[in-house]
Structure 1
């Protein structure tokens, strides 16, 4: 790989400490949730966090990317830009938090929850407000290449979140039930209210978000309020297509968990409510998290990297090399998880009712792979200031997502939602590549990458088709198949050969 690509890989690895390691820690909560909560209860968490994904985009309205774009202009006073953007986010977050809190009852009714659960929505409103305020200080750390500090704070956030989840969902109920440390029961009963139930997931998130602002104290103390909107107009014009694109992206990413309980016929899954189906789908969706983690870590490093390299005459070749190795790494993850999904599922989904949804995992993994490819390809419209193309592509994806969910959920259940997600992200990546060839040509090795992805799908299909009666023999065979795929990829695409070859 080139020196620039290696630097991007290094930055991605550091951001991965917070994104991958931190998310893996939270991923370990999946066995806790699936052991402690019935599918219908977990459906509440899945459903509410689907709404959170939409609201996160509204609360930040594209200002993070706009901050990067304008901060990299040579005539920009970065401190003044930081002051103005953060002032705007402070004010808007206060207003939006109040609005969401006031609409708590309608929000909860969307999940068909009885009155009295509005506190969940209020806690979520506070989380959204705190996270929106933290977004620009985090963006400043990324802009200044302070990846280690960024990673440390993100990791601390996750550790607090995980620790509080374990305390309120495992430790406190066990102590109250007399499982152990019964002498601590009077103290625990002062802190723990069993009626909160899954609400402790949201309370843990709220506490972690609040502590994150404390850890960003240096960045927040350097902030000086600036209330003039006029200098921000160019940023807002740049940002609003990104916000619309983000909202459309959330349609593609999370709307299935909102539509599923509405469009799934009652009794589609015998003996299970629609909310339980959402819980099963949400838990199995978590098994595709490794792909999402790599994509998230890559995005943290890639956005400032792509902007910084935009003026380099060799940037197209660098971008092509980045896409190649990103896609190959994701292909390995796809094979590793899909081939071994029975083993992974038995480790993380602790109730048999959740295991029914495992067939959606390979579909969702491939969908997330194409989402990562799309993020790579989208560099062309960000660097050419044609962000409206991203909006068009995202809205086309949203229309396809809604249409396919409407058609497939009543017939295929949550597998229909998974297929809709895959079709959406594949279409977005294909259209983005086609348009990019017209406005910002990059020599991406599309044919070679398509061949590897087809090979990966064939390997997964082959492994699923082999009947193995012995469970442990099956695990060993699947691990061997995974290692064989990795070895084949390495032999063909090893770095020494990559250095001698040109992207084709």
Structure 2
């Protein structure tokens, strides 16, 4: 099972890797053709589309993942479960987006004057939401079928085609933000039917109302949970636009865009981890020890990657973007640390998920969301985009600590707090990285110093007890198949 986890992380990560590499490759082109303010406008539309997707999904994807392997669902009835979830998504999406479109049309003058969002931008973004969610639903189902190659195909059509088409419209026709949005819409319209065709083995003409009720009861709280995630992951853009300006939104957005190379790893882990963790909890009597060992390794790797991004944030910004974007480098360091902390929630929340305590997950998410909004309001007027990044980091910290507390109460794991503490120490080092004096760009002395810090963080793991002979032996045992 652990071997499969590693293989699936690599395979699922491939699709995201190609997409992220394309994203990084086009950032210099975006920064040459889009002003910092226009980059901020694009970010506002993207995060708003994410919220709309959360609402219309109504927890259906979470429910299908939870019950697909449940003993109460016979294997021959899985297609009915998946089809029922798809029907819920289509009905709720059509109704909610229609109402939302009418409301936004009424406020189009305010959107254009205060947030630089013309109605054409808003309309294209709205039209993208439902086909994009259908494609995402197909992606989630392909993971449950343990079909990573199908997943990669859907993901590449959904992401890469939209990116390349939008870039072509930007460069060839100078369509600015509208061209990028149009590319996303076209890709979603292609990926949705392709995804449904690829998961057709789990689709049928039957819909079960009892499954619908079961999924609504389980998944409903996830709407509030996911909305809370959106608040502390995306509301900062809107607060920056309201309390600052579009330039601050642009700096914050491009910093987190570069830091999202770490999100690539987190997403690949999540996509492989959830189905395997559910099956491991069902089949392996020693799954708690295995989960704890995976947590140790996972947090250490996240922290080490965050440190690497933070150390070389200046170089990344100066090489890949024009000078108006360079002030985003310190924000990128904070963003990397925030993403590293957020990646731990996939394990710290696991006990609550296994105990079906979705309400507790929602409470934790809204607690973190409230902290994020409050911290943004307090910090943005004084620190701008940097203050917003600090607020995001602290919000993720509140979230994962709450999940850890709840999981250890209801479904405890034998955690190794010493090893976890060293990962936290490395994250603190990432936050301190911008304080290192700047030298010449990629100068030998500066580069050697940063590489030395990174190497020391890696090597110190052994004498400090984060990696021990017993721990290495445990990892070797983890490679044994689950009995």
User: TM exceeds 0.5?
Assistant: yes
**Residue 250 of structure 1 pairs with residue 230 of structure 2:** yes
Q: Distance in 2 between matches of 1:253 and 1:127?
A: 20
CA shift for structure 1 position 115: 9.1
The equivalent residue for 2:289 is: 317
Q: Distance in 1 between matches of 2:32 and 2:376?
A: 29
CA shift for structure 1 position 241: 0.9
Query: Do the aligned partners of 1:87 and 1:225 also contact (CA within 8 Å) in 2?
Result: no
The equivalent residue for 1:299 is: 270
Q: For 1:163-209, what per-residue CA distance to the aligned partner results, in whole angstroms no more than 9, with x for missing partners?
A: 21331222x1xxxxxxxxxxxxxxxxxxx4x4x42101111111111
Aligned length: 468
Cα gap change, 1:68 to 1:115, in 2 (>3 Å) = closer
The equivalent residue for 1:186 is: none
Q: Distance in 1 between matches of 2:328 and 2:433?
A: 20
Q: For 1:441-497, what per-residue CA distance to the aligned partner results, in whole angstroms no more than 9, with x for missing partners?
A: 101222222123314533763674345357522234323433443344478656965
Query: Do the aligned partners of 1:141 and 1:150 also contact (CA within 8 Å) in 2?
Result: yes
Alignment of 1:105-504 (within 5 A): 105=105, 106=107, 109-110=110-111, 112=113, 117-170=118-171, 172=172, 192=173, 194=174, 196-219=175-198, 223-226=203-206, 229-264=209-244, 274-311=245-282, 312-348=284-320, 350-458=321-429, 461=432, 464-466=435-437, 468=439, 471-473=442-444, 474-489=446-461, 498-500=471-473
**Residue 81 of structure 1 pairs with residue 53 of structure 2:** no
Q: Distance in 2 between matches of 1:44 and 1:63?
A: 30
Cα gap change, 1:111 to 1:12, in 2 (>3 Å) = farther
Q: Secondary structure at the match of 1:359?
A: helix
Q: Distance in 1 between matches of 2:49 and 2:430?
A: 36
Query: Do the aligned partners of 1:26 and 1:158 also contact (CA within 8 Å) in 2?
Result: no
**Further displaced range: 388-397 or 27-36:** 27-36
Among 40, 43, 60, the residue aligned to 2:40: 43
Query: Do the aligned partners of 1:127 and 1:205 also contact (CA within 8 Å) in 2?
Result: yes
Among 10, 16, 20, the residue aligned to 2:17: 20
Q: Secondary structure at the match of 1:28?
A: helix
State the superposition RMSD in angstroms.
2.5
Q: Distance in 1 between matches of 2:95 and 2:139?
A: 22
Query: Do the aligned partners of 2:243 and 2:380 also contact (CA within 8 Å) in 1?
Result: yes
Q: For 1:418-461, what per-residue CA distance to the aligned partner results, in whole angstroms no more than 9, with x for missing partners?
A: 11111111111112112211111101222222123314533763
Q: Distance in 2 between matches of 1:207 and 1:470?
A: 40
The equivalent residue for 1:180 is: none
Query: Do the aligned partners of 2:334 and 2:431 also contact (CA within 8 Å) in 1?
Result: no
Cα gap change, 1:343 to 1:29, in 2 (>3 Å) = same
**Further displaced range: 218-227 or 201-210:** 218-227
Query: Do the aligned partners of 2:288 and 2:413 also contact (CA within 8 Å) in 1?
Result: yes
The equivalent residue for 1:71 is: 68
Q: Secondary structure at the match of 2:328?
A: coil
CA shift for structure 1 position 319: 0.9
Q: Secondary structure at the match of 1:75?
A: coil
Q: Which runs of 5+ in 1 are unaligned?
A: 173-191, 265-273
Query: Do the aligned partners of 1:93 and 1:133 also contact (CA within 8 Å) in 2?
Result: no
The equivalent residue for 1:187 is: none
The equivalent residue for 1:183 is: none
Q: Distance in 2 between matches of 1:407 and 1:493?
A: 37
Q: Distance in 2 between matches of 1:41 and 1:148?
A: 36
CA shift for structure 1 position 8: 1.4
CA shift for structure 1 position 369: 1.1
Q: Secondary structure at the match of 1:103?
A: helix
Q: Distance in 1 between matches of 2:307 and 2:117?
A: 45
Q: For 1:106-152, what per-residue CA distance to the aligned partner results, in whole angstroms no more than 9, with x for missing partners?
A: 36734646899212122112211102222332222111100121022
Q: Distance in 1 between matches of 2:288 and 2:111?
A: 46
Q: Distance in 2 between matches of 1:391 and 1:371?
A: 16
Q: Distance in 2 between matches of 1:108 and 1:384?
A: 48
Q: Distance in 2 between matches of 1:408 and 1:21?
A: 36
Query: Do the aligned partners of 1:292 and 1:368 also contact (CA within 8 Å) in 2?
Result: yes
Q: Distance in 2 between matches of 1:466 and 1:495?
A: 34
TM-score (norm 1): 0.86
Q: Secondary structure at the match of 2:329?
A: coil
